[in-house]
Amino acid sequence: MYDVVSMRKRIDEAVQPVREQVQEEFRNAFRTLYPDDTIPDGFPAGSPSIEVISVTRWADLERIVDSPGLYIILTDYPIHENPCRLGSNDLRAVYRGESYTVGRRVRSHLANDAYRARHKALLKKAEEDGTRFSESLWPNCMKLSVGGPSGINVDQEPYSKYGWMVVVHRMSSSSQAVRKCAEAAFDAVFGRPVASRERARKTRASEAPETE
């Protein structure tokens, strides 16, 4: 009658060429946008929507909109053996990720205490009001070293002694599949940032690996 394993395989094989084409488009765009593996002072006319934010406190992170996109975190915090070449002066990209709500996700990485406190307060208020609170808490956030804390606070030592920058490629109306292609293309062009550690697990074409 039907063989679902064969069906899944055929779908995966049909999707793969398109995924490769999309990744190539992203690779070409990244090479144009970041010549010499450097964050430019400005982007040429006709570029996609890109924001560059210098971060020292929570207020800087609040400027990042909760929209779909790709984000890149750069710092001069000393990290051993970072293979990613993208940088800005002394800052180097240490993490890249994608999210449907980039602002909130970046805050979970760089202002983790405030992010968790906010989530706890909203959950408590919803319980007191008897309303539904559906915002998930990200348990896995950026780790600058294996075994290090999950998420940091850039306004606290030792991180406050160093420079931090976030670059956001806004991708309104994108799917996660598209954003995952952007991640793969970024890694191919610049090298995977040291703190971007995808969990190794087998995935189908329609699935995405979990990210820390």
Q: For residue 97, is it within any domain?
A: yes
The whole-number pLDDT of residue 199 equals 58
Residue 152 near residue 144, CB atoms below 8 Å: yes
Look at residue 208 and tell me if it is in a domain. Answer: no
**Tokens, residue 36:** 């010499």
Q: E strands within 35-179?
A: 50-54, 69-75, 87-88, 91-99, 164-170
Query: pTM of the prediction?
Result: 0.89
pLDDT at 173: 94
What is the structure's pLDDT at 203?
A: 39
Whether 107 is covered by a domain: the verdict is no
Task: Assess if residue 108 is contained within a domain.
Answer: no
pLDDT by 10-residue block (mean), the chain, 212 residues: 93 94 98 97 94 94 95 96 96 98 97 94 88 89 92 96 98 97 98 84 41 44
Whether omega for the bond prior to residue 35 falls within 30 degrees of 0, making it cis, is: no
Domain count, the chain: 1
Handedness of CA 132, 207, 107, 24 (dihedral sign): negative
Residue 93 lies in a domain: yes
Beta bridge partners of 198: 211
Question: In this predicted structure, what is the pLDDT of residue 200?
Answer: 43
Domain of 161 in residue numbering reads as 4-38+47-102+156-190
Note whether residue 90 is domain-resident.
yes
Name the CA dihedral angle for 30, 36, 37, 42, rounded to a multiple of 10 degrees.
-70
Please give the pLDDT value at position 205: 40
Question: From the CA atom positions of the chain, what is the Rg in Å?
Answer: 18
